[in-house]
Amino acid sequence: MLAEEPSLIARSQRGDLAAFNALVECYQRQVYNLCLRLLASAEAAEDATQEAFIAAYRRIDSFRGGSFRAWLLRIAANASYDELRRQRRRPAASLEAATAVHSATEVPSPAAGPEDEALRQELNVHLQEGLATLLPDQRLAVILRDVHGLSYEELAEAMRCSVGTVKSRIARGRARMREYLMAQRELLPRPFRLKSEE
Amino acid sequence: MLEVLARIHHRRIRRQLSPYLDGVLSARDSRRLEGHLAQCQACRDELAELRATVQALAELPLAEAPRSFALAAAPQPALRPAARRMEFGLRLATAAAAFALAAVLVGDFAGLPDTGEREERSMAGRAELYSAPAETEVAPQGPTAGPAESSADKQATTGTPSLLAPGIAGTGEEATPVPPATGGEGAAAPQLGAVAPSAGPETAAPGASQAAPPAATPTPAATPTPATTPTAAETPPGAFGLEGTPETAPPTLLPETPSPAATPPPVGAQIAPSGPEQQLSPEPEKQVPAEAERETLTAEEGGGPSRETVVRWLEVGLGIGLALLLVSWGLTRRRGRA
């Protein structure tokens, strides 16, 4: 979080586009990645991200304190769901079809070596497939918590529910993810197997 | 028993593994869970797998944003609320248009089964408070029976009294108590023709003028009674019977016969000057019949068809309006969503 975030938000609420764009620059990576995880398509994620920031600018007046990141990611999640709905109307591009295309979520990590990189990509694919098996609320909770590192309180804000509900969504989502990955144990990269078999 | 309790405890512990990993479990619950973990291999395995899953998710690298999502220009800020406000207005308008259409349709169908006269009568009856038909019927005695008959026949043949109910039912109810009272008075209407020669014009004239307003109501009221007994001849004699003047019967009966053939209001106007009996009525009538004529004429000649066409055009207009509303509503919705 930027130190000057509150003032940037206040200026944005007064219609200062430059201030808002500073916030965009700060959060666009997180917003884009959430959309990417939810949509599993780089193109759709790009559209959803842009839509999310446009919606955020329009609704910035409705932000009443709390975690700006949670507020923004909530808008991003909604934009992603809208995008999903739009995709479903176009039969060619469903979520299943999108998850079949793994390239979108294959994020290269420059620090790793080529072998590690291949393993990581493989795990990435399995994780994305596992996430796709979750219920929407559980998927969002797990992504926001484990991928984006939001606190339970932030999650409660972003998902507009109680911390208790957040806890149960995360627990159920993780349990399902664990079951999915364990079922694919043999297919998983070794590092994961070693970790889980410790 | 102990096994069941252990299983329940085990299940509860399993649910706490996720918050335990995140360190959001209370100190007491954490201690209890750790105590259980020390004894339960399955839970230790599960915790390890869960930790590996969470770690794998946490290690998922974040993709770089493919481009800057900074806004080049401020987007229209009030598009959504405006669309929503429009939507409300459109819904209101749609509801109003639908209601109006329903009203027009009901009004149209209520008058459909008859050709013209019935419609006019009900229309005129509703609009003019029966003043117009009253005069037409009072002026020549015959016409009272004539229209009554015709209307009765029509009602009987068309068999749609319920549709006409709004117009006539009210009058019928109002009139039904009246007929006995006005029967005497209404009998004054027949009297006009019969007593006219004997009584002075002055007496007859007030009689007519008095009879005019009540007679107005009886005529629509008369429709239900003749409906049961289609022979209108019965009712006039009954009226005369009350009067107890048998001689009057023929003159009144006579006008009855021509009445169906002759159009009521013009006849009254024509006969008034010519017939000696009718000379009584002219003065009180003349004021009223003048209007009556106009009304009945307009009702008969122009009113019926014009009303129908008006209704048709109204329907067409409302249909177009509805279609436009629906289209614009759909457009605003789509725009609002986009």
Probe site for chain B from A73, A147, A193 (most B CB atoms < 10 A): A147
CATH topology of domain A109-198: Arc Repressor Mutant, subunit A (1.10.10)
- Mean pLDDT for the stretch of residues A106-127: 73
Return the residue in B14, B57, B334, B337 with the most chain A beta carbons within 10 A, the one to mutate for interface testing.
B57
Out of A15-24, A176-185, A189-198, B69-78, pick the least confident.
A189-198
What does the domain layout of chain A look like in residue ranges? 1-105, 109-198
Q: Which tokens is B113 given?
A: 């089964």
CA proximity to B195, closest of B153, B263, B249: B249
Lowest-confidence range among A93-102, B23-32, B112-121?
A93-102
- What does the block give as tokens for B7? 């299983």
- How confident is the model over A40-55, as pLDDT tens digits? 889 999 999 999 999 9
Residue B210 is predicted with a pLDDT of 43
Q: How many CA atoms lie within 13 A of A145 on its CB side?
A: 30
A1-105: CATH topology is Rna Polymerase Sigma Factor; Chain: A (1.10.1740)
Domain assignments of chain B as residue spans, ordered by start: 2-42, 130-304
Predicted confidence band of residue A192 (pLDDT cuts 50, 70, 90): low
Q: Which residue of A53, A181, A197 is in closest CB contact with B69?
A: A53
Q: Kindly report, residue by residue over A61-86, the tens digit of the pLDDT.
A: 999 888 999 999 999 999 999 998 98
Best residue in B11, B47, B68, B69 to probe A by mutation, most A CBs within 10 Å?
B69
The band of B113, judged by pLDDT with boundaries at 50, 70 and 90, is low
Contacts of B95 (CB under 8 A, 6+ apart): none
For residue B201, the model assigns a pLDDT of 41
Which residues are CB-neighbours of B57 under 8 A, at least 6 positions away?
A127, A142, A143, A146, A147, A177
ipTM score: 0.84
Section B298-302 average pLDDT: 50
Does the pLDDT of residue B94 top 50, yes or no?
yes
Query: Which residues of chain B form beta strands (DSSP E)?
Result: none
**Lowest-pLDDT range, A159-173, B100-114, B233-247, B295-309?**
B233-247
CB contact under 8 A, B65 and A29: yes
The answer to whether B42 and B14 have CB atoms below 8 angstroms apart is: no
Percent of chain B with pLDDT over 70: 38
Residue at B238: amino acid letter: G
CA dist A35 and B63 (Å) reads 11
Which span out of A139-153, A172-186, B276-290 was modeled with the highest average pLDDT?
A139-153
Mean of pLDDT over chain B: 60
Confidence category of residue B237, pLDDT binned at 50, 70, 90: very low
Give the pLDDT score at B9. 80
Please answer whether residues A104 and A98 qualify as being in contact, where contact means their C-beta atoms are separated by less than 8 angstroms: yes
Chain A residues with CB under 8 Å of B58 CB are: 146-147, 149
In the structure encoding, which two tokens stand for residue A94, read together?
A: 């469903």
Is residue A176 within 8 Å of A151, Cβ to Cβ?
no
Lowest mean pLDDT segment, chosen from A184-193, B43-52, B145-154, B325-334: B145-154
As given in the structure block, the two tokens for residue A46 are 């790009």
Q: Which residue of A has its CA nearest to B74?
A: A17
Q: Which residues of A touch B76 (CB under 8 A)?
A: 58
> Over 70: is that where the pLDDT of B78 sits?
no
Asked whether the beta carbons of residue A182 and residue B73 sit closer than 8 angstroms, the reply is no
